[in-house]
Amino acid sequence: MGWCEFWGKRELVDFWLKNGFVPVHISPMRNVASGEFSVIVLKPLNEKVEETSKEIHKEFKLRLLEALPDTYFNLEPRVAARLLKKQEWMIRADLTLSESQKGRLLQYASGNLAYEGACDG
């Protein structure tokens, strides 16, 4: 299994994703030197590791989605979208959002709606 740490720049995210790496963790705090959130990615090198990677990546996506309004409220929306980008794996999770919640989430993610207007809490 390979892994690498990188910072939340779109170009780096695209590079790692294009080369078959999978995001599995994002730091809850910004890196002092770069000012970006550090992300750990891995590249499965065999089928057994790929299965484990799928599960870890699925949990990563769910945790990131849940933390976007709070911990990662100032994560660049395009970086968040790329980290959540569909992988070649079929991962399905039941999300129960109303049409209104989906619309507000999309508006918030695109930077057109403030957190206070998008959150339900």
Q: pLDDT at position 3, please? A: 45
CA torsion 110→116→119→121, rounded to 10°?
170
Asked whether residue 106 is assigned to any structural domain, the reply reads no
pTM to 2 decimal places: 0.65
Q: Count the domains in the chain.
A: 1
- pLDDT tens sequence across 20-39: 898 999 999 988 887 888 88
Residue-number span of the structural domain to which 19 is assigned: 2-92
CB neighbour list of residue 90: distance below 8 Å, 6 or more residues apart = none
Q: 72: helix, coil or strand?
A: coil
Asked whether residue 109 is assigned to any structural domain, the reply reads no
Asked whether residue 114 is assigned to any structural domain, the reply reads no
Q: Using an 8 Å Cβ cutoff, are 30 and 61 in contact? A: no
Residue 40 has pLDDT above 60, yes or no: yes
Asked whether residue 75 is assigned to any structural domain, the reply reads yes
Q: Using an 8 Å Cβ cutoff, are 82 and 9 in contact? A: no
Asked whether residue 42 is assigned to any structural domain, the reply reads yes
